[in-house]
Structure 1
């Protein structure tokens, strides 16, 4: 049962019907396997329990699950039109110069050609220059190394999105 210390958003998430909870999770991460794992562990006693479940579910994602999750993320510098989440998360690119935006587009395309998916980074709080430097550095990785970095970055993104979900009033 819900204690008085349970944040209102978490109490609501624990109480909503399964389809609505799945939809909320799927908006946070496009991986169906991830959303189903988190859904199956409801109710959560605390935000920390939810974040721990995120960490475990992210670690358990197969290559196919990771690909499904990444397909839900727009390229850095091109947030989905009308999507306040991707616009907020990519705020560091909003004021970037045209030259930086053009360079990011080139780097995104080169990265996608090499790895077969978008460049995924937890962009929250990062500047355009920091994201550019990260893609420049990571494009030299092996596919195996990059997959593990992507998994880590996805876990960070999911935590931020889950925090927003459980903190909402």
Structure 2
């Protein structure tokens, strides 16, 4: 029997399920592919569908997905997922926050999109070091790294959908 959250997701009306998926990933193509494969017998089947959908996204689909993510260190007000995922920045010094802002801007100028990393469990220093390392990548290599990071973020967010019982704070 699927976990309560997964059962709820499987039986939700398309629009409600689509809205939940949009909170996971801003790519409409990704969301449509996940919806098309419902119902899911297990959370692992949902994660596998997510991975498969992520692997098939075009550059435009990836751009749409990335547009749903705020820069590291500047989560959207009221966005619980971004605040939770970027909690490693909570204790960062002002100097580290300023450095990360400058690196984010340089990265965005080079690649045309925000620096995207699965921030869950990472410190501010680890995220800074990652952007320093990745800023010299080719656009093609960076696009594939971003695809992998989005996949990790999606899995974390899908886990919250699949495993949380009704009324849990997600």
TM-score by length of 1: 0.97
Match of residue 35 from structure 2: 39
Q: Does 1:162 align with 2:161?
A: no
Match of residue 104 from structure 2: 108
Runs of 4 or more consecutive aligned structure 1 residues displaced over 6 Å after TM superposition: none
Tell me, in whole angstroms, the C-alpha distance in 1 between the residues paired with 2:129 and 2:23. 28
Shift of 1:44: 0.1
Query: What's the Cα RMSD here?
Result: 0.4
Tell me, in whole angstroms, the C-alpha distance in 2 between the residues paired with 1:75 and 1:16. 31
- Structure 1 residue runs of 5 or longer lacking an equivalent are none
Match of residue 29 from structure 1: 25
1:141-156 equivalent positions in 2, closer than 5 A: 141-156=137-152
Tell me, in whole angstroms, the C-alpha distance in 2 between the residues paired with 1:83 and 1:147. 25
Shift of 1:82: 1.0
Name which of 95, 98, 101 aligns with 2:94: 98
Tell me, in whole angstroms, the C-alpha distance in 1 between the residues paired with 2:113 and 2:127. 16
Match of residue 81 from structure 1: 77
How many equivalent residue pairs?
165
Please state whether the residue corresponding to 1:61 is helix, strand or coil.
coil
1:37-94 CA deviation, whole Å, 9 max, x = no partner?
A: 0000000000000000000000000000000000000000000011111000000011
- Structure 2 residue runs of 5 or longer lacking an equivalent are 166-170
Match of residue 61 from structure 2: 65
